[in-house]
């Protein structure tokens, strides 16, 4: 609730769930915690809702009547406008949870039913903090700064120009510093799980990112973890 109260405008959460009693229970808890809510009973309604006005976060149930929550997540990740939209998947059973965690599909987190209103609000706030939520917080590592509002990057006092993919890659790594990501995970998070992008494409963009940062000696931040993937680290 603290993360929410800090902002002047309430965060908007879209609840995609076909079971009305569960949807209402979630909406009730979120409104009480200071969120604005929108509700959708299937994927088609969710997509039209998002097209009208992009929310700050989407709760997606795994089982929906017209398509699975996973498919909806993938669709949203492929679309430029909803690529960075925080998504939390709701699952009914442990086996679904395992599939979600294994497949990822680009969701930022998942919650297994049944869950309490308090747990849900805590997880939403955690994801909004982690993903930047409104995307307005300046991200930093060492003397490297990324300002998402001005869409600007500074290193050692100079402005750095990056291509759109390198920008998203750097932003994602800054939001998840010190964590190692495989190429597959970076594909899901930064490219939106687009199956037509080859994993070696990641290496090309990482190389470009390092080259752009090289004059500022910040290239050391983007580290290759042998046999695992990449990590942004201050050490």
Nearest residue (CB) to Ca ion, 63 versus 103: 63
For Ca ion, the closer of residues 30 and 153 by Cβ is: 30
* DSSP character string of the chain: -HHHHTSSSPPEEEEE-S-HHHHHHHHHHHHHTT-EEEEESSHHHHHHHHHHS--SEEEEES--SSS-HHHHHHHHHHSGGGTT--EEEEESSHHHHHHHHHH-TT-SEEEESS--HHHHHHHHHHHHHHH-TTT-SPEEETTEEEETTTTEEEETTEEE---HHHHHHHHHHHHTTT--B-HHHHIIIII-S-TTS-THHHHHHHHHHHHHHGGGTGGGGEEEETTTEEEE---
Minimum distance, C-beta of residue 119 to Ca ion, in the bound complex (Å): 18
- Residue with smallest beta-carbon separation from Ca ion: 63
How far apart are CB 92 and Ca ion at their closest, in Å? 7
Q: How far is the CB of 64 from Ca ion (least distance, A)?
A: 6
Q: Considering the rule CB under 5 A, would residue 3 count as an interface residue with Ca ion?
A: no
Nearer to Ca ion, 84 or 96 (CB): 96
The least CB distance from residue 108 to Ca ion, in Å, is 19
Q: How far is the CB of 17 from Ca ion (least distance, A)?
A: 6
Note the Cα 110 to chain centre separation in Å: 12
**Distance in Å, CB of 70 to Ca ion, minimum:** 13
CB nearer to Ca ion: pick between 91 and 223: 91
Contacts of Ca ion in 103-142 (CB under 5 A): none
**Among residues 56, 61, 84, 166, the one that binds Ca ion under rule CB under 5 A:** 61
Which one of 25, 63, 103, 197 is in contact with Ca ion (CB under 5 A)? 63
Q: Among 31-39, 54-62, 107-115, 193-201, which window interacts with Ca ion (CB under 5 A)?
A: 54-62
Name the residue among 173, 167, 153, 189 with its Cα closest to residue 225: 173
Distance CA 59, CA 39 (A): 10
Query: Residues 11-30: x/- map of binding to Ca ion (CB under 5 A)?
Result: -------x------------
Tell me which residues touch Ca ion (CB under 5 A).
18, 61, 63
């Amino acid at each position: 609730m603290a993360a929410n109260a800090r902002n002047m405008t309430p965060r908007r959460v879209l609840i995609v769930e076909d079971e009305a009693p569960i949807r209402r229970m979630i909406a009730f808890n979120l409104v009480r915690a200071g969120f604005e809510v929108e509700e959708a009973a299937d994927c088609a309604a969710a997509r039209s809702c998002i097209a009208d006005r992009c929310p700050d976060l989407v709760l997606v149930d795994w089982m929906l009547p017209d398509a699975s929550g996973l498919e909806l997540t993938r669709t949203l990740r492929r679309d430029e406008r909803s690529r960075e939209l925080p998504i939390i998947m709701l699952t009914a059973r442990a086996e679904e949870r395992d599939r979600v965690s294994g497949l990822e599909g680009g969701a930022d987190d998942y919650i297994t039913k049944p869950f309490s209103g308090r747990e849900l609000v805590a997880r939403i706030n955690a994801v909004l903090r982690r993903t930047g939520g409104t995307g307005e917080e300046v991200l930093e590592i060492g003397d490297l700064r990324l300002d998402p509002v001005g869409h600007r990057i500074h290193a050692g006092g100079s402005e750095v120009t990056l291509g759109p993919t390198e920008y998203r890659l750097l932003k994602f790594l800054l939001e998840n510093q010190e964590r190692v990501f495989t190429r597959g995970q970076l594909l899901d998070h930064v490219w939106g799980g687009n199956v037509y992008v080859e994993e070696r494409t990641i290496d090309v963009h990482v190389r470009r990112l390092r080259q752009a940062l090289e004059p500022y000696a910040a290239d050391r931040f983007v580290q290759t973890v042998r046999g695992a993937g990449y990590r942004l680290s201050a050490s």
